[in-house]
Amino acid sequence: MRDLTGMNVPPDFGVRDDELSEVVIPSDLRSAKAPEERILAELQRCGYEDDAIFALKLALEEAMTNAVKHGNRNDAAKHIWVRYHVDPRRVVIMVRDEGCGFCPDKVPDPTAEENLERPNGRGLMLMYSYMTKVRYNDRGNEVWLLKERE
């Protein structure tokens, strides 16, 4: 397993690096359910509303799907790093894969007329739509998600 040291939590996300929990999982969609269940259980414990739970489940699943399918290219021998923090005011999640990364600015707009019928390419747009902030590292293999409670 390549240990890819990532960036620290973005300073404007409102939590310290030492407040994050970390999980490392094999790179497949089934294994990706384990950290999701932990994070969603924390949301329930903190009393988050249904809309926020939907938004976080969606953004996390999109980040995981991108990591498994695009980042690690469905190579189950690779790994995914998940770091997270949940408190009653905000949720911070980081997902990092072992891939070469990508440039988020170059992903085509899935809502453009010519892309509407494409079966893929919506994950990034959904993360930006449902989260308060989304940040990628320079390499493009690590995404940070922030959801502030409304």
Partner 1 sequence: MLPPAGHDPLEQPLEISVRPDGPAVIVNLRGSAGMEEGEQLGPRLASLISTDAPHLILDLSELLFISSLGIGAILAAHAVARKAGGGVRLVHPRPAVQRLLTLTRIDQLLPTDATLDAAVRAVV
Which residue's CB is nearer to partner 1, number 9 or number 127? 127
Task: Tell me the three state secondary structure of residue 45.
Answer: helix
Which residue's CB is nearer to partner 1, number 9 or number 82? 82
Residue 3: both structure tokens together: 């240990």
Which residue's CB is nearer to partner 1, number 24 or number 29? 29
CB of 18 to partner 1, least distance (A): 25
Q: How far is CA 134 from the centre of its chain?
A: 9
Measured CA to CA in angstroms, residue 102 lies from 33, 45, 64, 107, 140 at distances of 24, 35, 15, 9, 5
Residue 122: both structure tokens together: 């919506």
Give the footprint of partner 1 on this chain (CB under 8 A). Answer: 29-30, 32-33, 37, 40-41, 44-45, 50-51, 53-54, 57-58, 61-62, 64-65, 110-111, 116-120, 122-123, 125-126, 129
CB of 39 to partner 1, least distance (A): 10
